[in-house]
Structure formats: C-alpha cells, structure tokens
Amino acid sequence: MSLKVSESFPPQELFTLSENVGRRIPDWTQGAGGNISVKSKNSLWIKASGERLSDIAGPAERNRFARLDCVKFAQEFQILQQGIDRTKIKQSSVGFDPSGGLFEKEKKYSEMLKVFSDPEFGKASMETAFHIKLPQKYVLHFHALSFILIHELTSADPALMAQVQKLLRAKYQISCHWVDLFLPGFQLSLFLEVGAGDQIYILKNHGIILASDSETILSKFEVLEKDLLKELDVAWEFNQAVPENVGGPIKVFFPDFIIFKNEIKKHLKNSGDKKYFFSRPSPEATKEERGAFENWWATQKLFASNPHLAELSIDFQREVLGLPTEKERFNKSR
C-alpha cells in the first residue's frame, strides 16, 4: 500500500538547489550521488532514488523526485528504531549482520521508502530518514570531496576541530558536527544530532549534510568551503575542465565508489605500476558509464591531494553492497 499526501507541486527551491549542486562535478557530486530535500507543510520533497541531481529540471519530471508525509514517516521510523543498541554499532563503525536483527531493520526501512513514497512520483532516496529527522526546511546532502579531506585532517586533532568550530560559528553562524563512518541511509540517520539554526555535518569518507531554514545555506557553504580550505592549508583545485583521460590507482575512499566499482573496472586501461586510465565518456555514453567516470575522477582528485587518505575497509565495502537499499544501484553498475 502506498500513502498519498496533500500537496501536488514541489517548491521551486528543490529544482534550483538540485541544479546548483548537480552541476559541480566532481567536486560536489558524482553520478546519482547526493540528495536534496525541501519541507513544505507536512510534505517532504526529495530527489528520487537513483536519479542525478542535475536531472531534476522541473515539475514535469515527476519520477525524478519523491514526496512523503513527514509526520507519518517519522512515526514509523521511531518505531523501527526500537530495540537497537547504538553503542554496538558505534563501537565497530559497522553494524550490518545479515543473520541478525539489524539486517531485518534495514529490510523494513527499504520497504518503508516504497510504502511512504507517493505513487504519483518516484521512490524516495535511501537517505530520506535524516532529511525528515532534521527539522530545518532545507536539507542538502552531497559528496563534497574537500570535506572528506577536512574530516581526515581534523577529526583526530581536538585543537584543529576547535579552530574549525570557532571559525564557522563566528564568521558564518553555523554549528559544525563531525560524524564517524556509518553505513549510508538507515544507520547514518541514527547518529545525527539535531540542532536549531544552520548546521553542517562533516561525514567521514562520505561528504557533508547542510541543514537550514534558508535556501541561502548553499551560497554560504560555497564561501566557507574555500575559506576553510585556506585556513587549514588544504590544496584543492575547483572548476576543472573535464579531462580527456584520468589516471591513477584503484582506491576506495567513499561509498559510491563501491557501487560503481564493477562498472569502473570495465573502462580502465592498465598502464603498469598499478596505474589505470579511464577515458572521458562520449556524449552518447550510458548513465552508468558517466557515473563511473565521475566517481573515478573524484577518487583521483582525492588521491592527488592526499595519497595517504584512509580507504574504506573490505568489510565495510561488503556491507554496503549487502544493504537492501543499495542492491538496485549495485545491480545496475555490474
């Protein structure tokens, strides 16, 4: 059974914000990664699962965004969380056990996304739970590569963390949270702290979440990102032209690379010394090939900036592929 909600037209900000993030390839988004939502009355409007942010062009593209009832979804999610021992998940940073109760919770969560998505539109993104959990009108999650580097640099250094927090509060009136590595979707949603006002969550090996009651949060982020990179002396080059070829080693720095890994390997050419090249896709390339190239390009930009950046463990990679919410994307990229 699917549940319908009362509104029939998404706010224009959903399209504007999605376009502005979606065109920043690969610095902010790669493939179908990231999700943006806008709350309006009791509705949550969010990018549909598996869609590119840059493709949410307007209200005619009804299957590219989804709509849910915030109150009903939140109530059901609250019930779903019952009986979960968060300390065990946090201790390992990986809490996925196909034979245990948490796997059943993941399956129920995946089903919830189908049940609560209005059938007139697409299926809601796997990250929907935290979009509803966070009370701000606008919630933007995208894979900002610079903040993967910033998390790696600052998370083990209390003095640097305090420096970042002070800068963001004083200059941008934004509260900052560091979030450990968790499986995307359901489990990540369990560990986000809710706060009033503008918030930024820096996710280990994943990207960022912005939450605000003002759509200007994105323009604010664009300025503070450059400011913070300069403050921390992190080298990063924005707005590069799409290269003819992108070369480097195979590294798994973030979850979406796991999903696209098989598709990426189809297009790699080995030049020796564990260095591989991926040629720029043609305009007629499939969505999967474009997404694979963008994730490969993102990986090589991260490696060039920090060759010692921590990779995701083999166990974590297996668990991402085992998530019910990721099965569809994984099958597409095989």
Q: Record the tokens describing residue 61, joined without a space.
A: 């593209």
Statement: residue 135 has pLDDT above 60: yes
Statement: residue 123 has pLDDT above 90: yes
Report, as an integer, the average pLDDT of 267-293.
94
Helices (H), the chain: 12-22, 70-80, 86-92, 101-116, 128-133, 145-154, 158-172, 186-190, 217-231, 255-267, 287-305, 314-322, 327-332
**Coil, helix or strand for 327?**
helix
Find out whether the peptide bond into 307 is cis, omega within 30 degrees of 0.
Answer: no
Pick the closest to residue 49 from 6, 100, 109 (CA basis): 109
CATH topology for the 12-231 domain: L-fuculose-1-phosphate Aldolase (3.40.225)
pTM for the full model?
A: 0.93
Statement: residue 298 has pLDDT above 90: yes
Output the pLDDT for position 300: 97
What residues pair up with 35 in beta bridges, in sequence order?
Answer: 141
Q: Please calculate the CA angle 327-114-94 and round it to the nearest 5 degrees.
A: 45
Percent of the chain with pLDDT over 90: 78
Where are the chain's structural domains? Answer: 12-231, 245-332
Report, as an integer, the average pLDDT of 318-323.
90
Report, as an integer, the average pLDDT of 36-57.
92
Distance in angstroms (rounded) separating the CA atoms of residues 210 and 49: 19
Tell whether the torsion through CA atoms of 277, 267, 143 and 217 is positive or negative: positive
What residues pair up with 277 in beta bridges, in sequence order?
Answer: 247, 269
